[in-house]
A and B are shown apart, each in its own frame.
Chain A
Amino acid sequence: MIEGILIGLQTALSFKNILMVMMGCFFGTIIGMLPGLGPMTAIALMIPITYGFEPSTGLILMAGVYYGAVFGGSTSSILINAPGVPGTVATAFDGYPMAQQGKAGKALAIAAYSSFAGGTISAIFLLFAAPSLSKISLAFRSPDYFALMVLGLTAVSAFSSKGQFLKAMMMVILGLMLATVGQDSLSDITRFTFNNMNLTDGISFVLIVMATFAMSEALTIILKAKDPSRATEQISLSQLGSIKLDKDERNKMLKSIPRSSVLGFLIGVLPGAGATIASFLAYGMERNYVNEEEKQKFGKGSVHGLAAPETANNAACSGSFVPLLTLGIPGSGTTAVMLGALLGFGIQPGPRLYMTNPEIFWSVIMSMYIGMVILLILNLPLIPYIARVLATPRNFLIPLILFFSVTGIYLMSFNNFDIYLMIGIAVVATFLRLYNFPMPPLILAFVLGGLMEENLRRSLLISDGSFNFLWDRPLTAIILVFTISIISWQAYKSFKK
């Protein structure tokens, strides 16, 4: 492991990669601050740029963007009560009241320190957990992988559906259907191409991400521009206040950080859970831990209430890399985007990545820590300046998002058809989002579609067409029990209402 850490440090500390982490953190922070644009959009916008880089450099840039975007989301949550990402919704519960009390600087500083601590502690967990999990995951066979993918898709649907599980499951099927377009990987038979040559290679992953997130987000913002419930308040940047914390505030923060880090990391490791669930659970857990007097302050500017979700969402970000790097199965929508990018580089994440590409495996883990340090150094002094991005007028922002989306596709294929297809999918996605059909399950299903079919193929061929493979191996059966539990829980919840 020491050798691996040294390899990782050597790669991550090269001038180029440090520059990439810095750029990633900076641009991620700016994009994450813009309401509605989350890490998934930020990473999607970076994919075309990373294609010219080495895989480790590209991944390091994307990891920087990821952390930057999560922190950026906190900034808009605290300053204008408009979370840039779902993972920072809980941050607004106490961050925004603090800002209203003229303590925006302190709130931003608490967010920055908590993010740093949460990310750092969970990066250490990742350091130890990832290699051990890699070894364990070598025991996984095709039926286990298939079952695990079904579990991941079910879990993402359960957590992202906001009580509309069936809608999320329909999006999963739609994502899987889109993944079957093009040549079958084994027999090379073309499917669902309607004799269109442009579809022979299937639909590009970047195209789907750009259409369902970046472009659809831009269209949604325009569509809802006159909706009074979405009107955001502009804060006077002269009211940021001091960023220095007193002893009492530091003590409160120090109490919240360790427990929220552990919780965040564990939640992040679970497929489908991610930063949003982690931050809400940490907020709830913290409220139960503090005394009655502190409990009354929750929702009115509590330091505990701000530090806990901020720590947990960053810890969950590191945790979500565990299933991606060790099993090759993304635990969240954002890591699904990163998996797509990895496959684009010709790298198949999974248990063997640790052995075949140690420089990638370790440099990503090491650059996470470096990213945390840079995020803190970069963001604390720049808080007043970065916050000015929030003042970017919508009339300029939307065309620029559309421009980056179209350019991303144009640079990949130099083909009009892909641009039209992207516009078409974006229009459908905008309409679906309007009626609360979630997009993360669709993305995850699209990314996993090929792998899922391949593992189902192997499992069915081994078992000679019998579905006994689902319960023959104890591991497969256990994973399926989890999946059935999630479905039953969702069914119980919807009937209880």
Chain B
Amino acid sequence: MRISTDKIISLLFFILSAFYLYQTYQIQVFSFDEHAPFNAKTFPTFLAYLGMFLSTLYLLLPERQPSKVDHKVLDYKSTLYLIIIVTIYGFVLLKAGFFLSTSFFLFFSYYFLGERRWIWMLILSFPFVALFMFLLHGLLDIYLRDPFLKMLGIIG
């Protein structure tokens, strides 16, 4: 018997709801609130049971419109590269500062997506980020942490 991905997702949702219910029982409410008509546990308990009920219903009912996903045409490789680049960007953003990290992020993202028009890649990374920073930091007075530009004395 083949089980569809939709059903697997609803099974995962059932597990998530059960875990959520377990976590709900771990919530420490005040002793005077323990038997109150409503405390911090009440709403999450309803949600957990409702989540388990809906996922069970989906699992048990016959599937009329299973989602069809053609994995052969999906570009997992480029998507994974992009996720890795964004994660690295998120990691270095606070350390290297906004200007350098964002400019390199944009430049490498263009490159990994197959772009090779170097002039456009450069314009839409370093000068573009500089302009964006000017708009935010210079005009709208929104603070952007940037140790690199601070070291150069460009921003205060």
Question: Is chain B a partner of chain A in the same complex?
Answer: yes
Interface residues of B in 50-106 (CB under 8 A from A): 50-51, 54-55, 57-58, 61, 64-65, 67, 69-70, 73-76, 78-79, 82-83, 86-87, 89-91, 93-94, 98, 102, 105-106
Question: Whole-angstrom distance between the alpha carbons of A406 and B30 in the complex?
Answer: 39
Assess whether B147 is interfacial by the CB under 8 Å rule.
Answer: no
Question: Whole-angstrom distance between the alpha carbons of A223 and B29 in the complex?
Answer: 45
Residues of chain A contacted by B93 (CB below 8 angstroms):
406, 410, 416, 419
Interface size class of A (residues with CB under 8 A): 35 or more
Interface residues of A in 61-96 (CB under 8 A from B): none
Assess whether A170 is interfacial by the CB under 8 Å rule.
Answer: yes
Closest Cβ of chain B: how far from A167's Cβ, in Å?
7
Return the chain B residue nearest A410 by Cβ. B93
Residues of chain B contacted by A492 (CB below 8 angstroms):
none
Residues of chain B contacted by A49 (CB below 8 angstroms):
140
Contact of A166 with B90 in the complex, beta carbons under 8 Å: no
Residues of chain B contacted by A196 (CB below 8 angstroms):
none
Closest Cβ of chain B: how far from A218's Cβ, in Å?
8
Interface residues of A in 123-168 (CB under 8 A from B): 163-164, 166-167
Residues of chain A contacted by B23 (CB below 8 angstroms):
191-192
Contact of A177 with B124 in the complex, beta carbons under 8 Å: no
Contact of B142 with A169 in the complex, beta carbons under 8 Å: no
Residues of chain B contacted by A167 (CB below 8 angstroms):
6, 58
Contact of A398 with B109 in the complex, beta carbons under 8 Å: yes
Contact of A219 with B140 in the complex, beta carbons under 8 Å: no
Interface centre among B47, B105, B142 (most CB of A within 10 A): B47
Chain B interface, number of residues (Cβ within 8 angstroms): 69
Residues of chain A contacted by B140 (CB below 8 angstroms):
49, 52
Question: Whole-angstrom distance between the alpha carbons of A157 and B132 in the complex?
Answer: 38
User: Which residue of A222, A403, A414, A457 is within 8 Å of B106 (Cβ)?
Assistant: A403
Determine, out of A282-290, A292-300, A329-337, A431-439, the stretch whose residues face the partner at the interface: A431-439
Closest Cβ of chain A: how far from B140's Cβ, in Å?
6
Contact of B40 with A187 in the complex, beta carbons under 8 Å: yes
Per-residue CB proximity of A444-466 to B under 8 Å, as 1/0? Answer: 00000000110011001101110
Assess whether A420 is interfacial by the CB under 8 Å rule.
Answer: yes
Assess whether A400 is interfacial by the CB under 8 Å rule.
Answer: yes
User: Which residue of A170, A396, A398, A435 is within 8 Å of B5 (Cβ)?
Assistant: A435
Residues of chain A contacted by B5 (CB below 8 angstroms):
435
6 sample A-B contacts, Cβ–Cβ < 8 Å, listed by A number: A170-B58, A173-B51, A174-B13, A187-B29, A223-B75, A395-B110
Interface of B is mostly: helix
Return the chain B residue nearest A445 by Cβ. B47
- In the A-B complex, the 5 residue pairs with the smallest Cβ-Cβ separation, listed nearest first, are A465-B37, A399-B109, A419-B90, A395-B115, A184-B40
Closest Cβ of chain A: how far from B143's Cβ, in Å?
8
Assess whether A1 is interfacial by the CB under 8 Å rule.
Answer: no
Assess whether A474 is interfacial by the CB under 8 Å rule.
Answer: no
| Known contacts A393-B115, A432-B9, A416 near B90 by CB under 8 Å | yes
Return the chain B residue nearest A185 by Cβ. B40
Return the chain B residue nearest A180 by Cβ. B44
Per-residue CB proximity of B33-51 to A under 8 Å, as 1/0? Answer: 1001111101110010011
Interface centre among B17, B43, B78, B89 (most CB of A within 10 A): B43
Residues of chain A contacted by B38 (CB below 8 angstroms):
456-457, 460-461, 465
Return the chain B residue nearest A399 by Cβ. B109
Closest Cβ of chain A: how far from B56's Cβ, in Å?
10
Closest Cβ of chain B: how far from A427's Cβ, in Å?
6
Per-residue CB proximity of A401-445 to B under 8 Å, as 1/0? Answer: 011001100110010100110010001001010111100000000
Contact of B82 with A453 in the complex, beta carbons under 8 Å: no
Contact of A187 with B73 in the complex, beta carbons under 8 Å: no
User: Which residue of B64, B78, B83, B120 is within 8 Å of A494 (Cβ)?
Assistant: B64
Contact of B20 with A460 in the complex, beta carbons under 8 Å: no
Question: Whole-angstrom distance between the alpha carbons of A166 and B136 in the complex?
Answer: 43
Contact of B106 with A399 in the complex, beta carbons under 8 Å: yes
User: Which residue of A186, A396, A452, A465 is within 8 Å of B120 (Cβ)?
Assistant: A396
Interface centre among A219, A396, A463 (most CB of B within 10 A): A396
Residues of chain B contacted by A227 (CB below 8 angstroms):
70, 73-74
